[in-house]
Amino acid sequence: MTEDVTLLDAVAATSGGEDLPVSSRFDVLDPATGDVLAQAPDVSVDQLDGVFAVALDAFGTWRHDEAFRRSALRRAAELIEERIDELAEILTAEQGKPLAEARSEFAVSAMWLRYYADLDLPSEVLVNDEAAGYQAVVRRPMGVVAAIAPWNFPISLAVWKIAPALRAGNTIVVKPSPHTPLATLALGQVLRAAFPPGVLNVVSGLDPLGAAMVEHPVPRKVSFTGSTAVGRKVALGAAADLKRVTLELGGNDPAVILPDVDVDEIAPSLYRSAFANAGQICLAVKRVYVHDSIKARLVEALGEIARSVTVGSGMTEGVQMGPVNNRAQLDRVVDLVDDAVEAGARVVAGGAAIDRPGYFYAPTIVEGASDGVRLVDEEQFGPALPIIGYTEIEDAIARANRTEYGLTASVWSGDPERAAQWAPRIEAGQVAINAHGTGVRPDLPFGGLKSSGLGVENGPWGLYSFTEIQVVTGPHRP
Ligand code: NAD
């Protein structure tokens, strides 16, 4: 790439360390305007044979040099930091999030790469003596990994797969969402300088390309982040040849607020936990259960914050919330809030799409919608939050659990010990006390219970999920 050609102008799929030529492209829209931003390569299902072949070929060497793998991951982190301004602009342009948050997504991804570069993956020698001989448990790489990502955090959720998969010695083919392929394709191009050809491959295409990756005979593992509906299809597709799967799926994450909280103190943190990334976070607070005695005050405090938020293009300085990422998602949020109002709920702030080009929806606080209303029962994945009153804490916990999902949850109290007594009663992969989602760190496992997923990512547990166990036995090894 020459100096005056930007990453966005030259966006291409990466296979075997080179541009993968394509015969067609699809439009990627700017959610802040609804206009076409760029065209992404529409990699065909037939081309997957070639992409997986180069990934398999690269695996033969990559798996053997652990020290080199660690240094390549560190180099990848440096390359991201060197190009962070350009990369973040592409991410904001296609995803909608404020530029500072796009930068932070790349910065955090560099941190994840370094974490895995530094993490050890030792063999466990269980026995080694003259009498009993040698018995060890070795964690081997699996081969080629197929990684499929959604549009809300295209980069960090792809790197949650790339970093541990490559660290363990696998090679990988990554497919971003067709709504947000550009930043991931650009990342693949930038990281050609970090990895040998074929180790990290990035393809873009429409949904059938994802299904074809799952069914392809070469990958031995599918790591998928997306909706529960598609996750079920991935599990079925992977079952044919028993590919290993990790599924990070949807959530309808509850926050339970006890009567002894300081409402003014918790409101800003609770608001951020629900509305960051315009509410498009798998682990965002999606329902608030608050004790009746403080409900009115909390509704008012959250409404006041929602009304004060600056909504606009993520490229504009000072904007706190960008657009919803795509038309279908905006329509869904409109539909869910309208349905709640028809069912008798009251809109305290927002309540409608903003009248301007693009997919903007005003930050919305709704009260009076309870369980049985779609806004409460379903994953809204957007900037609209229902606040639900309760009288007895047991009842609030039971309602929090009355869902097919179980991703994250939180319990808030003036007395953290009291919250800690109730927290484990919520069926969720992570439960936070007096905060929400604070367990998202490279060193802690992240995954959902029930229909929110299968397996975990991050930490050593995430690394293990990109390995297969092999037992080695033999005579004593001096
Ligand atoms: P989605 O399920 O529609 O798409 C996710 C990815 O799967 C995309 O790349 C898509 O092209 C691909 N895909 C579509 N059909 C496929 C198929 N049949 N086989 C294989 N791949 C296929 O999800 P989305 O709308 O992009 O993302 C939003 C959803 O993702 C929400 O439900 C959200 O909760 C969930 N999510 C979960 C996590 C988590 O870690 N648990 C994180 C972020 C988002």
Indicate if the pLDDT at residue 2 is higher than 60: no
Q: What is the pLDDT of residue 283?
A: 97
Q: Which of 282, 367, 379, 457 is catalytic?
A: 282
Active site residue 394: no
Domain termination residue (choose one: 223, 249, 275) = 249
* Residue 138 lies in domain: 5-249
In the predicted model, is pLDDT for residue 191 greater than 80?
A: yes
Tokens describing residue 314: 């993520």
Mean pLDDT, rounded, for 180-191: 98
Q: Is residue 470 part of a domain?
A: no
Q: Are residues 300 and 266 in the same domain?
A: yes
Mean pLDDT within 324-348: 98
The minimum-distance atom of ligand 1 relative to the CA of 282 is 34
Whole-number Å distance between alpha carbons of 168 and 120: 10
For Cα atoms 104, 108, 111, give the angle at the middle one, nearest 5 degrees.
Answer: 145
pLDDT confidence of residue 156:
98
Q: What percent of the chain has pLDDT over 70?
A: 99
- Are 337 and 381 found together in one domain? yes
Q: Which residues touch 239 (CB under 8 Å, ≥6 apart)? A: none
Q: Which atom from ligand 1 is nearest to the alpha carbon of 231?
A: 2
Residues 185 and 261 in one domain: no
Instruction: Tell how far the Cα of 249 is from the centroid of ligand 1, in angstroms.
Output: 7
Residue 378 in any domain: the answer is yes
Mutation pick for ligand 1 pocket among 145, 160, 173, 230 (CB with most ligand atoms within 8 Å): 230
What is the rounded CA–CA span in Å between residue 152 and residue 417? Answer: 34
Mean pLDDT of the chain: 97
Q: Whole-prediction pTM value?
A: 0.98
Atom of ligand 1 nearest to the CA of 153: 43
274 in a domain, yes or no? yes
Is residue 465 in some structural domain?
Answer: no
CA of 149 to the centre of ligand 1 (A): 6
Q: What is the mean pLDDT of residues 369-396?
A: 98
**Residue 262 Rama label (left phi>0; alpha psi -120 to 50; beta):** beta
Query: How many angstroms separate the alpha carbon of residue 264 from the centre of ligand 1?
Result: 36
Residue 307 confidence (pLDDT) above 60: yes
User: Among 233, 249, 265, where does a domain finish?
Assistant: 249
Pocket test for ligand 1, best of 227, 332, 408 (most atoms within 8 A of CB): 227
Q: Give the pLDDT confidence of 18-46 residue by residue, as tens digits.
A: 999 999 999 999 999 999 999 999 999 99
pLDDT exceeds 90 at position 235: yes
Q: Is the same domain home to 153 and 267?
A: no
- Does residue 139 sit in the same domain as residue 272? no
434-459 confidence digits (pLDDT tens): 999 999 999 999 999 999 999 999 99
The preferred substitution site among 148, 202, 203, 359 for testing ligand 1, maximizing ligand atoms within 8 Å of CB, is 148
Pocket of ligand 1 from Cβ distances under 6 Å: 148-152, 157, 175, 177-178, 207, 210-211, 214, 225-227, 230, 233-234, 248-251, 282, 379, 381, 407, 448, 453
Same-domain pairing of 238 and 383: no
- Does 48 map to a domain? yes
H, E, C per residue of the chain: CCCCCCCCCCCCCEECCEECCCCCEEEEECCCCCCEEEEEECCCHHHHHHHHHHHHHHHHHHCCCHHHHHHHHHHHHHHHHHCHHHHHHHHHHHHCCCHHHHHHHHHHHHHHHHHHHHCCCCCEEEEEECCCEEEEEEEEECCEEEEECCCCCHHHHHHHHHHHHHHCCCEEEEECCCCCCHHHHHHHHHHHHCCCCCCEEECCCCHHHHHHHHHCCCCCEEEEECCHHHHHHHHHHHHCCCCEEEEECCCCEEEEECCCCCHHHHHHHHHHHHHHHHHCCCCCEEEEEEEHHHHHHHHHHHHHHHHHCCECCCCCCCCCECCCCCHHHHHHHHHHHHHHHHCCCEEEECCCECCCCCCCECCEEEECCCCCCHHHHCCCCCCEEEEEEECCHHHHHHHHHCCCCCCEEEEECCCHHHHHHHHHHCCCCEEEECCCCCCCCCCCCECCCHHHEECCECHHHHHHCCEEEEEEEECCCC
User: Which one of the listed residues 89, 105, 248, 367 is annotated catalytic?
Assistant: 248
Is 329's pLDDT higher than 90? yes
Q: Is residue 370 part of a domain?
A: yes
304 is catalytic: no
Q: Which of 220, 249, 278 is the last residue of a domain?
A: 249
Total domains in the chain come to 2
259 and 237 assigned to the same domain:
no
- pLDDT at residue 1 above 80? no
Q: In the predicted model, is pLDDT for residue 4 greater than 80?
A: no
CATH number at residue 105: 3.40.605.10
Q: Please give the Cα distance from 311 to 92 (Å, whole number).
A: 14
Residue 453 lies in a domain: no
Q: Which atom of ligand 1 is nearest to the CA of 251?
A: 34
Please give the distance, rounded to the nearest whole angstrom, from the Cα atom of residue 150 to the centre of ligand 1. Answer: 5
Instruction: Give a yes or no: residue 414 inside a domain.
Output: yes
Same domain, 139 and 236: yes
What percent of the chain clears pLDDT 90, i.e. is strictly above it? 98
Are residues 325 and 283 part of one domain? yes
Q: How many Å apart are CA 26 and CA 42, to the nearest integer?
A: 6
Distance, in Å, from the CA atom of 381 to the CA atom of 388, rounded to the nearest integer, reads 18
Give which of 22, 11, 10 is closest to 50, Cα–Cα: 22
Spacing, Cα 454 to ligand 1 middle (Å) = 14
Same domain? For 288 and 166 the reply is no
Kindly state whether residues 169 and 231 are assigned to the same domain. Answer: yes
Per-residue pLDDT at 5 = 78
- 411: domain CATH number is 3.40.309.10
- Please state the rounded mean pLDDT for residues 286-295: 98
Whether 154 and 51 map to the same domain: the answer is: yes
